[in-house]
Amino acid sequence: MRSQEWFGGSDKTGFFHRSGLKAMGIPERMFDGRPVIGICNTWSQLAPCNAHLRDLAEYVARGVYEAGGLPLEFPVTSLGETLMRPSTMLYRNLASMDVEETIRANPLDGVVLLAGCDKTTPAVLMGAASVDLPTILLSGGPTLTGRRNGVPLPSGTGTYTMYDDVRAGTMSSAEFVAAEACMWRSNGSCNTMGTASTMASLVETLGMALTGNGAIPAVDARRRTLAHDTGVRAVSLVHEQLAMSQILTREAFENAIRVNAAIGGSTNAVIHLLALAGRAEVPLELADFDALAAGVPLLVDLVPSGKYLMEDFFDAGGVPVVLNALGDLLHRDTLTVTGRTLGENVTGLTGWGSPVIRTLDEPLKKDAGIAVLRGNLAPGGAIIKPSAATESLLVHRGQAVVFEDIDDLRTRIDDPALDVSADSVLVLKGAGPRGYPGMPEMGNLPIPAKLLRAGVTDMVRISDARMSGTAFGTVVLHVVPESAAGGPLAVVRSGDWIELDVPARRLHLDIPDSELASRLAALGTPKLPSPGGYTELFQQHVTQADTGADLDFLRGRRGPEVARAGH
């Protein structure tokens, strides 16, 4: 056991390590060579979606004890979408550093990762992948379905919709505020197929969690049972020496890309899977998301691409039913943390025919994968989620209405004098990894209030930002290079014609090549402020969205080697 490098000696160093834990009431027999399992917890009252993870940690610990291990819980940076500014994405890589260094520096033989809210799942996976110990993840699960006046309220998605109603004058501010207490009935992540539920589903698909992890509601007793079983399995992973690198293979990532299309998953999955693959040293490119998901149908009828919510998805059988429905579109022989293959895990789990999960013969939409766009406006690529877009806008030509940054957007978007029409293309600059900094979920730019009042519900929108997994619309995201890196997006002007052709995978700024070159030459190298601290480190080392927006020096595995003793 790796932990015996700390606990196995009879010298002064072993004395220090054992006596410290004995001060917490741990008896001598627990240092007899049994597996030490770290419970990596992203619990925080600053992250309401993860506020129940302290409870789940107790059930994980019970499982570890049952299987003959020693559980040791430790906290790491928690990232909550509801409170953090300027963006949780700014801190995803910081949290991953916390996870990686804490695991490596301590006497752990295996790890259980507890995650929930959007960025906590990729952060803990990225950090753990760089260490590569036997590891298993437990998601916190979605919140219960909220309702107001008998109408279900989709987390996040409902907020955007109702706020547009307020801006359009069809909903009062008092009604809007009253809905706050109705949307979230319990702890847990969004009840839509937002980023949290997407990542929980993909963790199960990748093989890094037990079967059923993706959809069990946060407060369902079966989530506690899963926590207990996760603790048991963590001990077995150590005995079997089953490391993350044996599970996170190219084939596992291919499965995740296809399942993301089938569930109508978040566009954020693209940037997180690319970052995780970089840590796991698995070759994966932005183009793979288009090529691998081509022809994969949308099977799951969930908000924002459909109409149902996560409780309905769970009742329909969840991720295992989707995996079975996809059949030979997946690599069913990939290894998982259960010790069995993905196909073996879901054999016989076919659900009861709920309308929430469709079949290949009768999908919600025939082609639902993430579309990767290229052209002179996005030479490094950009993405769009066709299943959440308005079909009539997937081929569109319109004049740009440009906002130089998020402050400019907020100042002018509802100005009655704004020169904009339903055919305009809204363009936001300065919202990429370096420029914001931290690449916020601002990509679904609000529709101008005067157009909302006229009945406009969607427009083409383009930015170097991200979009919440709960959001929807004809939104082009993750433009590479970003404007702050000197990409062509930086030189778009209001009035320029922009062409979007999703079937042709094209995003084009309709100006002569010579004009584009002249504008870029005049732009020069954008200068960023020097805020100091972690933010400046982030700006100096963050990669572009097409490689996961990770920090360049964090990519790859650095292993679990025991550092020299400190005593």
**Residues 313 and 447 placed together within one structural domain of the fold:** no
Q: What is the CATH number of the domain that holds 495?
A: 3.50.30.80
Judge contact between 474 and 461, C-beta under 8 A. Answer: yes
SS (H, E, C) 476-524: EEEEECCHHHCCHHHHCCCCCEEEEECCCCEEEECCCHHHHHHHHHHHC
**Residues 119 and 150 placed together within one structural domain of the fold:** no
For the stretch 215-262, pLDDT in tens is: 999 999 999 999 999 999 999 999 999 999 999 999 999 999 999 999
Give the chain's domain count. 3
For the stretch 441-457, pLDDT in tens is: 999 999 999 999 999 99
If one counts every other C-beta atom within 10 angstroms of the C-beta of residue 245, the result is: 14
- What residues form DSSP beta bridges with 384? 371
Does a structural domain hold residue 86? yes
Does a structural domain hold residue 560? no
**Residues 419 and 300 placed together within one structural domain of the fold:** no
Domain boundary among 155, 184, 213: 184
Q: What is the CATH number of the domain that holds 106?
A: 3.40.50.2300
Does a structural domain hold residue 556? no
Does a structural domain hold residue 441? yes
Does a structural domain hold residue 361? no
SS (H, E, C) 193-212: CCHHHHHHHHHHHHCCCCCC
**Residues 58 and 80 placed together within one structural domain of the fold:** yes
**Residues 156 and 40 placed together within one structural domain of the fold:** no
**Residues 225 and 125 placed together within one structural domain of the fold:** yes
Q: How many CA atoms lie within 13 A of 284 on its CB side?
A: 32
Does a structural domain hold residue 339? yes
**Residues 134 and 178 placed together within one structural domain of the fold:** no
Tell me which amino acid residue 95 is: A
**Residues 167 and 218 placed together within one structural domain of the fold:** no
Question: Tell me, what's the pLDDT at 41?
Answer: 98
Q: Give the domain extent around 389.
A: 371-527
Per-residue confidence band for 493, with pLDDT thresholds at 50, 70 and 90: very high
Closest to 429 (Cα-Cα) out of 494, 370, 513, 519: 494
470 or 22: whose pLDDT is higher?
A: 22
Average pLDDT over the chain reads 95
Question: Tell me, what's the pLDDT at 13?
Answer: 87
**Residues 83 and 195 placed together within one structural domain of the fold:** yes
Does a structural domain hold residue 557? no
Does a structural domain hold residue 29? no
**Residues 287 and 211 placed together within one structural domain of the fold:** yes
pTM equals 0.96
Judge contact between 377 and 492, C-beta under 8 A. Answer: yes
Q: What percent of the chain has pLDDT over 90?
A: 88
**Backbone CA torsion sign across 160, 166, 170, 175:** positive
Q: Given a cut of 90, is residue 525 above it in pLDDT?
A: no
Question: Tell me, what's the pLDDT at 158?
Answer: 87
Question: Tell me, what's the pLDDT at 219?
Answer: 95
**Residues 315 and 388 placed together within one structural domain of the fold:** no
**Residues 104 and 170 placed together within one structural domain of the fold:** no
